[in-house]
A and B are shown apart, each in its own frame.
Chain A
């Protein structure tokens, strides 16, 4: 135990002596939050439209006015040339083309179905689908107003229909910042675990200081624990910093228990540090380490469900995520922070994280060799 304390003290001294790292530890989370939380969003707000109004009727102008009035659309171009509309779409200057053929207003006035054509750039499938949904929303509003004005004229009986009233729970305003911040915090902590601890051990190999340690009676587990603890503490400190910034800058809601959140993060960090030290036990240079660690980090983060809904991943990918600590902690963080889930609600995530932590740490201790 005393040996571990001496080793931990040494790690902290070395970190504090490293002018760059000691500053970067606190600067990186700051920048990451400031940049990523507002930047990474799926909200589609400014869909640029090119409108071809061949009808020029009161009805067509009403519809175009509705597009202009919607927060999601902006009528950027109007033209009567299909070629021009097409080239605007090709060159990406507009995201969708709406073609209102002549006779649109006349058909509506006669009570016949009126037709219009909409072409949407769907290179980004998600943006394309959202644009389509918003477009439908605007048009169905337009339809309703036509029906109701028609009904007034005809004084017809009320047409029964179902109306859905929805409420978005846990994030009522559908604020993406609330959704992203818990995930960004996880990425932050992941980077600390993977990059700092793993590189630290490989560096000792490169400069040869590990040889002097290996010839002492230090136990493998003592050495690995002493490499983990400082970065565990730094990771949790960065998490605290990130949460504070999130509260101040983005007024992020925090429904759950702070203690529970840190418990989850601590177990997660042990898992990530275990894997990082396991990889570094294999590597003899920082370059080798970076290459392998980067691979794991990218796979873990992209498959974690931070950017894409976990549920829409193929089944094999969801199964793989059983051993992906990043996926568990992102889910855990969102549940605890936004829903206020208690320990019972997140016990599955905690148990899986603990299992991964034990597994990777055992690997790291086993793989670290004091004797060649």
Chain B
């Protein structure tokens, strides 16, 4: 029996008259890598912000790590990690100082913070950059660091909002290795992406279009169901049906 760590029932989010999330219902299971696909403006970021307690849902039931997102967002925040679409660590602090800050905010003790820092620096082959200010680092390194910081407190779930946007293929591969390692530690990974090849690496994939979830299954089942070679084809058929016809 799979244990659900995220349960969403009839989630609706409106900004004025604009419906960003239209009646979403899905579950995410413990330890899986859950891919969240969709075109720009499909409502992915809105959903991820609701799940991580940054936005209040207009209606519906959202439970994350056992806590209700409408009423106890601050409890959710204790149990999740979040890596935002826009790089949001402090660029004027060094790598070490950023790790220490977030370790401290999540309540880790000094010894653990030091251990984690050394561990991370070694694992990411970051040692040469430890005392460098972030502002001068290449994008790939920054994204890896942001991910590492997001899971520094060993959360139950980590949300990654387009973590590999603009990153070179080699770094993307390394990034996905980090995702696999994280999932292997039992941390559920909820990831949005534009890259369809990345969707193939996920355990399950959901596809959003115009605020609604239009498909949700394993990559294999989706390909079978849509009789497609790749997730990219699946995506084009369901997310942009009108475009697929023109093609």
A78 contacts B by Cβ under 8 Å: no
Answer yes or no: A214 CB below 8 A from chain B CBs: yes
Chain A interface: which size bin? 20 to 34
Does the CB pair B53–A371 fall under 8 Å? yes
Asked if B107 and A211 sit within 8 Å, CB to CB, the answer is no
Report A-chain residues with C-beta under 8 Å of the C-beta of B105: 3, 6-7, 213, 216-218
Interface of A is mostly: helix
Given contacts A14-B90, A14-B92, A208-B84, contact A216 B53 (CB under 8 A): no
Question: Which residues of A have CB within 8 Å of B53?
Answer: 215, 370-371
As a 0/1 sequence over residues 76 to 110 of chain A, the CB contacts with chain B under 8 angstroms (1 = contact) are 00000000000000000000000000000000000
Task: Please give me the residue from chain B that is nearest to A14 by CB atom.
Answer: B92
A6–B55 touching, CB < 8 Å? no
Contacts of A7 in B (CB 8 A): 101, 104-105
CB within 8 Å: A-B pair count: 81
Given known A13-B97, A371-B53, A371-B55, contact A211–B73 (CB-CB < 8 A): no
Q: A2 contacts which chain B residues (CB < 8 A)? A: 104, 107
Count of B residues near A, CB < 8 Å? 30
Give Cα A2–Cα B113 distance, bound, in whole angstroms.
13
Contact pick for A212, options B78, B84, B93, CB 8 Å: B84
Tell me the minimal C-beta distance from A14 to chain B in angstroms: 5
> Smallest Cβ distance from B77 to chain A, in angstroms?
5
Return the CB mask of A113-126 against B: 1 if under 8 Å, else 0. 00000000000000
**B92 near A17 (CB under 8 angstroms)?**
yes
Given that A10-B97, A371-B56 are contacting pairs, would A216 and B102 also be in contact in the complex, using a CB cutoff of 8 Å? yes
Please tell me which one of the listed residues B49, B86, B87, B101 contacts residue A10 in the complex, with CB atoms under 8 A apart. Answer: B101
Complex: A372 Cα to B89 Cα, angstroms = 20
Is A18's CB within 8 Å of the partner chain B? Answer: yes
B104:A6 contact, CB within 8 angstroms:
yes
Q: Mark B6-24, 1 if CB is under 8 A from A, else 0.
A: 0000000000000000000
A372–B78 CA distance with the chains assembled, in angstroms: 18
User: Within residues 315 to 372 of chain A, which ones have a CB less than 8 A from any CB in chain B?
Assistant: 370-372
- A1-29 residues at the B interface, CB under 8 angstroms: 2-3, 5-7, 9-10, 13-14, 17-18
B56 touches A372 (CB 8 A): yes
Query: What's the nearest-Cβ distance from chain B to residue A23, in Å?
Result: 16
Contacts of B42 in A (CB 8 A): none
Find out whether the CB atom of A217 lies under 8 angstroms from the CB atom of B74: yes
Q: Distance in Å from the Cβ of A172 to the closest Cβ of chain B?
A: 51
Q: Is A209 an interface residue (CB 8 A)?
A: yes
The 8 Å CB contact of A211, one of B88, B91, B93, B133, is B88
Once the chains bind, are A370 and B107 in contact (CB under 8 Å)? no
**CB-based contact A212/B52 at 8 Å:** no
With the chains together, A207 CA to B87 CA distance in Å?
9
Q: List A contacts of B56 (CB < 8 A).
A: 371-372
CB pair A216–B106 under 8 Å, yes or no, is yes
Q: Is B54 an interface residue (CB 8 A)?
A: yes
Q: Decide if B92 touches A215 in the complex (CB within 8 Å).
A: no
Contact of A215 among B54, B89, B100 (CB under 8 A): B54
CB contacts (< 8 Å) of A18 on chain B: these are 92
- Which of chain B's residues have a CB closer than 8 A to the CB of A17? 92-93, 133
Q: Which of A204-238 contact B (CB under 8 A)?
A: 207-219
Q: Is the CB of B93 within 8 A of A14?
A: yes
Least Cβ–Cβ distance between B33 and chain A, in angstroms: 20
Closest CB in chain A relative to B18 CB, distance in Å = 15
- Contact check, B77 vs A215: say whether CB atoms are below 8 A apart: yes
Q: How far is the CA of A320 from the CA of B88 in the complex (A)?
A: 42
Whole-angstrom distance between the Cβ of B217 and the nearest chain A Cβ:
29
Could you tell me the distance between the alpha carbons of A18 and B82 in the complex, rounded to whole angstroms? 28
Chain A nearest CB from B50 CB (Å) reads 10
Decide: B107 and A215 in contact? CB cutoff 8 A. Answer: no
By a CB distance below 8 angstroms, the chain B residues around A371 are 53-56, 73
- Known: A13-B93, A14-B93, A17-B133. Is A211-B54 also a contact (CB below 8 A)? yes
- Residue contact B90 to A372, C-beta cutoff 8 Å: no
- The smallest beta-carbon distance between B53 and chain A, in angstroms, is 6
Which listed residue, A6, A208, A370, touches B101 by the CB 8 Å rule? Answer: A6
Q: List 12 A-B contacts (CB under 8 A).
A: A10-B90, A14-B93, A207-B91, A208-B88, A215-B52, A215-B84, A216-B102, A216-B105, A217-B78, A218-B105, A370-B53, A372-B55
Known contacts A6-B100, A372-B49; 10 further A-B pairs (Cβ under 8 A): A13-B92, A17-B92, A18-B92, A208-B84, A215-B52, A215-B53, A215-B77, A215-B82, A217-B77, A372-B55
Give the 9 A-B CB pairs with smallest separation, nearest first: A6-B104, A212-B88, A215-B82, A217-B78, A208-B86, A217-B77, A17-B92, A208-B88, A216-B105
